A and B are shown apart, each in its own frame.
Chain A
């Protein structure tokens, strides 16, 4: 096991002297860290505060009274009464010599060149080169640890023959480039990937002068299981590893701490901005939350999601045969006029669970009050299977990522953290590194199953019942019961000596039959000390949608409501409203047959609409998001580009509702700014931390008797009782499979992120149907072939994706926006498919409303790809 690089808070304080300055630090601190605390600079390159000491660069040598030779500050622990000297002539010369050696294998000409500064000033763009031959052509220029160390250590010549390794720069993987000619073999990336991420994609390969960093056999990072979390890029002290999207942006103008808008963990992010636009994203450092880590979406996908060229930034109106850009005034007048003429029962508003709290609240209030009782609902309902009451009780449990990282026993069900909820995966590994045990309940060989002490391989689609059984065993503490065995016989919670337990439940589990049985088990366990639970759902603000009443049958608070006439379930059952107002939603593949379809989003939906209202993205407006832990965290605006033909005229969601309300003669629904919306939220939902509160907060559950709006919409009890898996009695095997359909993790509002973020598209995460390679061979499906899934009379033809993580006899697919099949696992027949009938790739790029009617594209806003 690697050293835990954190010092314990209760460690006794030791006193020592650094450069004759008295310092007092807790035992277990390294000399390097003690010097840092005392404000003494000791050059270092390989050490990093989040990683174990490595002792590779040898720059941090110091002199310690009584110690022989020159110990390394980064890997020497302080002792009481130590006397450390960090700056002597001998040390200085030694450091210079070491640095010369390092630089002799680094394209260092610019570092030592006398014209360096003039060069930077006059040749400011030569750096946009594919390969770096010196600082001026390096993406790290100006923001480089190696440069800083060279400056501090002060060298002006090398005196050794300079070697350029001549390695080919690696540009083939998505998201970040690698040019190992710049690598100084400090090993930070390797340790980050291994110790913190637990992905172990990188290692030192070969030895001596051929030493190289990378995955086994020179395979791509993609093949080697890289999570594309970018943690290695962030710790690299050189320009070896660099973000593709912001590589040539140069040093950012500033950093703003904000919240990741892509999932309900609500990781802290630092938004680097340059010239009034978002440049790149770095991980924020909240120890209770993501603590310097992100997943691929947060780390790499924000800039493209808001800047993609197909972003629709202008209001648009359909006039006769034309769909064209219009002014806000014209568009809002038209929309208001058409809305005011319809009966409330004929209007349905669908609001995405990815909107900020302000947008969610303003949306439902506009529909319920402004439109006199129009229907409101959200696809967040699909992401909260079991319904609002069920989830309000889950959100009342002790939910804590921090407790997960410190748990003695971790139970994870139905979750692979490579690309989704990766930060939870990091916390699981942190628990393991501290000596915790991991029990995984999953039919798939997930990335966590590979690390597990116990892997309870459930039958496909049966994770909920398996988990419920395990929890019952744990609760009973039954001697010799399988559950107790699985958790290592450790007593959990409560009694003295009982260990802490964390239970992590992936979104897929809540769609499984028997999920309803989980709630009583979880609630019973939650009464014990030291038990934390992490129920995961896709959608950035699904908890906000529930608390702020963006669901049919729920009012802000949340309080139960007797809803409008329409909701999502009735819509799907074919009860189309006359007017459909889509706010960040596009749950159809083709235009639903309504008289008026209004869309309000970042991108145009994939079907024709009558009015389009461009909404501001997560970096264009201030707002707040509610995390799964109940934290209400701010979204910061970093983009300040002049509204107009070039940068568009997007407005925050709440402001669009406010402007419409004004036109409908409802000044009571108008807000002067985002703070006014929050004031309204506070008045109506006092239990909600409207002003933003970064602390965890348990939700007050909705009353159990909440009247369902329509039986299907309320979801009733979650998937319990007669299960679909068993309803169809055909045996699995010989062409019979269990089909598990999952929510997409790449949706943001109405778009598929894979369509706008190039790197995500290259990963092909959610395409086709995943099957065990053995099953595919038995079906006679060639690599790259298609399969036909017989789904309740209709056939689904999709590309087959061989995936050895899948158990035999099961097929996994991701529901796209127009999914109409069941959400539970079902038995289906699968056969080799007919390629000619294959649907076009399920994932699509957002396109302008198709057909000749899209003819007049107005002011060249370029919505075609």
Chain B
């Protein structure tokens, strides 16, 4: 019979190399899985690319806009590839009082990006955080895993110069 000949196509789309088959095996593909699926996707790729969003949408039978709308509601998701280095400026109470805002503004001006963005050359991610748990060192800036305390505008500029030439 004609229908018996039909190839029932799975909704998953063509198999790709890389992490997708693994990710898709971990979930049932229900719309309710959206947030965990996005988390897993970001873990695998470092960010949510338009292509990832499209794949997730088709898989969970949602529209790309629905997926994007949910993803942008949560601060944890990012939509551009992460920079090579992660600059974090603390604006917790202690750091705020000790001039954290100036640190952030210095970095924003120097890198020409705003907090939450990545420099166009993909070198730095600039983020603001609320308390890193070392308030005694306020104001605090971190570069990747290194913590720099008692920063000033001058020291910060020096740190970046050094880092750029390293």
Contacts and interface: CB of A to CB of B under 8 A. Distances in A.
Contacts of A219: 50
Given A216-B65, A457-B9, A482 B3 contact: yes
Nearest to A439: B3
A332 to B, nearest CB: 56
Interface in A789-847: none
B32 interface: no
Interface residues of A, number: 36
Given A455-B8, A457-B7, A215 B2 contact: no
B53 A217 contact: yes
Contacts of B64: 215-217, 224-225
A217 B6 CA distance: 36
B63 interface: yes
A217 B57 CA distance: 14
Contact of A456 (B6, B66, B67, B72): B6
A648 interface: no
Interface class of chain B by DSSP: helix
A28 interface: no
* Interface-central residue, B2, B61, B66, B68, by most chain A CB under 10 Å: B2
A200 B2 contact: no
A473 B11 CA distance: 23
B58 interface: yes
A214 B64 CA distance: 11
Contact of B1 (A199, A206, A215, A472): A472
Contacts of A199: 63
Contacts of B6: 456-458, 466, 469-470, 482
B2 A466 contact: yes
Contact of A472 (B2, B5, B65): B2
Interface in A455-488: 455-458, 465-470, 472-473, 481-483, 486
Contacts of A200: 62-63, 65-66
Interface in A186-245: 194, 199-207, 214-217, 219, 224-225
B133 interface: no
A182 B119 CA distance: 32
Contacts of B154: none
A380 B64 CA distance: 39
A482 B1 contact: yes
* Interface-central residue, B53, B65, B73, B79, by most chain A CB under 10 Å: B65
Nearest to B74: A207
Contacts of B9: 455, 457
A225 B3 contact: no
A696 interface: no
A68 interface: no
A203 B3 contact: no
A456 to B, nearest CB: 4
A483 B3 contact: yes
B72 to A, nearest CB: 5
A654 B6 CA distance: 50
B149 to A, nearest CB: 31
Given A200-B65, A216-B65, A469 B3 contact: yes
A467 B6 CA distance: 10
A467 B3 CA distance: 8
A591 to B, nearest CB: 46
A171 B23 CA distance: 39
Contacts of A205: 68-69, 72
* Interface-central residue, A207, A216, A225, A470, by most chain B CB under 10 Å: A216
B66 A194 contact: yes
Interface string A436-467: 00000000000000110011111000000111
Given A217-B50, A457-B7, A457-B9, A203 B1 contact: no
B58 A450 contact: yes
A203 B68 contact: yes
B92 to A, nearest CB: 20
Nearest to B11: A455
B136 interface: no
B73 A206 contact: yes
A428 to B, nearest CB: 14
Interface in B24-65: 50, 53, 58, 61-65
A521 B68 CA distance: 44
Contact of A473 (B1, B50, B63, B73): B1
A203 B72 CA distance: 11
B1 A216 contact: no
Contacts of B8: 454-457
Contacts of A214: 65
B146 interface: no
A470 B2 contact: yes
Contacts of A458: 6
Interface string A284-309: 00000000000000000000000000
A253 to B, nearest CB: 37
Interface string B94-118: 0000000000000000000000000
A421 B50 CA distance: 29
B53 A216 contact: yes
Contacts of A206: 72-73
Contacts of B16: none
A205 B53 CA distance: 14
A224 B65 contact: yes
A200 B67 CA distance: 10
Contacts of B63: 194, 199-201, 203, 224-225
A74 to B, nearest CB: 22
A484 to B, nearest CB: 9
A202 B65 CA distance: 6
Contacts of A468: 2
A281 B36 CA distance: 44
A798 B155 CA distance: 63
B15 interface: no
Contacts of A451: 61
A648 B156 CA distance: 76
Interface of B: 1-9, 11, 50, 53, 58, 61-69, 72-73, 79
Closest 7 CB pairs of A and B: A469-B2, A203-B69, A200-B63, A216-B68, A482-B3, A456-B6, A203-B65
Given A200-B65, A217-B53, A465-B2, 20 more contacts: A200-B66, A201-B63, A202-B65, A205-B68, A207-B73, A216-B64, A216-B65, A224-B65, A450-B58, A454-B8, A456-B8, A457-B7, A467-B2, A468-B2, A469-B2, A470-B2, A472-B1, A481-B1, A482-B1, A482-B3
5 contacts: A203-B69, A219-B50, A456-B3, A481-B4, A483-B3
